[in-house]
Structures are given as C-alpha cells and as structure tokens.
Amino acid sequence: MDMRYRQLGRTALEVSPLCLGTMNFGNQTSVEDSHAIMDKALDEGINFFDTANGYGGRKFEGWTEQVIGKWLAQGGGRRESIVLATKCYNRMGPGVNDRGLSAYHIRRACEDSLKRLGTDHIDLYQMHHIDRRAPWDELWQAMEQLVREGKVIYVGSSNFPGWAIATANQEASKRNFLGLVSEQSLYNLTARTVELEVLPACREYGVGVIPWSPLAGGTLGGVLGDDEGVRRAGRRKRGQLEPIRERLEAWESLCDDLGEQPANVALAWLLTRPGVTAPIIGPRTMEQFTGSLRALEITLDDETLAKLDEIWPGPGGEAPEGYAW
C-alpha cells in the first residue's frame, strides 16, 4: 500500500493517516496477538501508535504499556520505526497525588511510562483530560523540563474543550514553548459537537486532531446487518440503538450502495474532515486491523458527503453560526 503520510498539526512530524490504538492490547487481545498486529501495522506502513498508562485492565499496572514494551524489546528497528504516543492524568496509585496534571504527577507518570515501555523517550506525551486545578504555569514548567531532558518530544492533549486548547497554546507561547501539537477528541458521524469550537481552535493553533471512537463504539460498524452482534448486545446497547434505528438503516443502506463496509466508510469520512490528522483504530483482532486499511482507499464524492450530512447532521457549523445568526 502506498501510504500517504500527514504532518501532525503544525509540526514537521509525519504520521500515518490511521493511528493504531492499543487500548485492547493485553486486555481483550492477547500479548501474542497484540504483537502480531503491531508487526503487521509496521509492514503496512502504519507508524503512529497510541496508548495510555491507564490501559490494560490491570489496576495501576499500565499493562498495555508493558505489552508494547515487550514488543519494542524484540528490536529489529521497531522503536525507531514508530511515533509512540502515550498519556497521563488517570489515577495510577492509591496516593492523593497519583492522578491529575500536577507537576509532581506528570513527572512521576512519565518516568513510570518510560520504564514500562522500555524506551528513553516518548514522542507524543498527551494529557488525557483537562485538570482544572492545575495552573498552566505549573503544567508547562513540568512539560518543558521533560522536553529539555529529552524524555518527551511533543506534547498533546485529549478531551480538551476549545477554550482550553486556545488558552494552553497562548500560555505556552508566553514561555516560548511549542505547546500543544495535537488533540484527541471524540469525533465520529454520530458525535460531531467538536465541530462547534474544538476543531476551529485546533485549526487556528495548528493542532492536529486525532479522533477517538471513530465507529461510535461499534454503532457505525454495520450493527444492524450483524444479527449475531445484535443478539450479543446487551439490553442497554439495544436500547441505545432504537432511537436512531431509522438513521442506522439509511446509513447501512448507503454503505451497501457504495459497496463498502460501514466501518470503512466511517473512517474514510473522518479522513475528509479539515484538520483531522489520523483517526484512531482500536482493533481486537488481526482481521479488524487489516479490514480497516480499506478506508485509506475509499474516496467519497460530494454527493455522498452530502447524503452523510443528511443522515448524520452536525451541529450546524462552527460556533457561533452553529447556534446563532
């Protein structure tokens, strides 16, 4: 596959247009299968790997980071071939300071992630959530120190509102620091709130957008056409589908007309959105991973994009036009 890499935000760093999410690795996906998927990703030209210290399903252990660390330890140029992203914020111990974005916790969380990953640096270190208690001076001082020491190369955010992205980069600029270069946001055809203010803020400040949950937890993956999947779904999941069943029927019918799997169309749509760098795919199996690569070959014409807007309307554009005159 001829991989067309994209620059991450305003940086010169080039990453693949799909980011390999590892949240299932070591939890729903065995260590061996996780390693096989990562090897296959490299073979296919996927060079952007995302994880977090809280992933893996083992409390406080950072198990997914350990799974990746074991893979990197096999050598063969693995570490040098990927852009490695991880995150801090979530609770990683019983202590009162074992969470959040205090300088104390950022420093400690970074050191622990480096040990689990078996590497001397993190390419993209992301704040997993905004911490309203943490002053920007404290936060940026901690990140600057990690960058000076070569332990972190770039800094990103996740689940930040538009105002926080703008404020963070304004405060970083006062310190002559690069600031945020990426933002991970919930973004898919069913969840387009970020189009109001987050995406405009990211474009204004040169922050690359990395959408998570691009398939809306499987809702956009052809759920109505998967009878077994519907049967397996719990009562709560089925209850969530009923209010949008008409839209889902139109969605899956459109994908049938295109001759494409719904999951791949959902990914392809995100790749057309201004400011989006790379949606995160979170495969549990090799089949899911290889299937998602098809999204890179799909071209959606204007007519199809208009139909998608009819089925899954956004908030009405950017703020304030999205809700005011």
Catalytic residue set: 55
C-alpha angle 160/314/234, rounded to 5°? 80
Contact indicator for 105, 88 with CB cutoff of 8 Å: yes
Give the pairing type, strands 208-212 and 122-127.
unpaired
Q: How far apart are CA 97 and CA 288, in angstroms?
A: 38
Which of 302, 42, 11, 7 lies closest to 179 in space, CA to CA?
11
In the block, which residue shows the tokens 């199809």? 304
SS3 85: strand
Helical packing angle, 162-174 and 198-205, nearest 10°: 20
Q: How far apart are CA 56 and CA 178, in angstroms?
A: 31
Residue type, 110: C
Contact indicator for 18, 295 with CB cutoff of 8 Å: yes
Q: How far apart are CA 276 and CA 21, in angstroms?
A: 16
Contact indicator for 13, 54 with CB cutoff of 8 Å: no
Q: Does the N-terminal peptide bond of residue 274 adopt cis geometry, omega within 30 degrees of 0?
A: no
Torsion of CA 100, 105, 111, 115, to 10 degrees: -50
What is the distance, to the nearest Å, from the Cα of residue 115 to the centroid of all Cα atoms in its chain?
A: 23
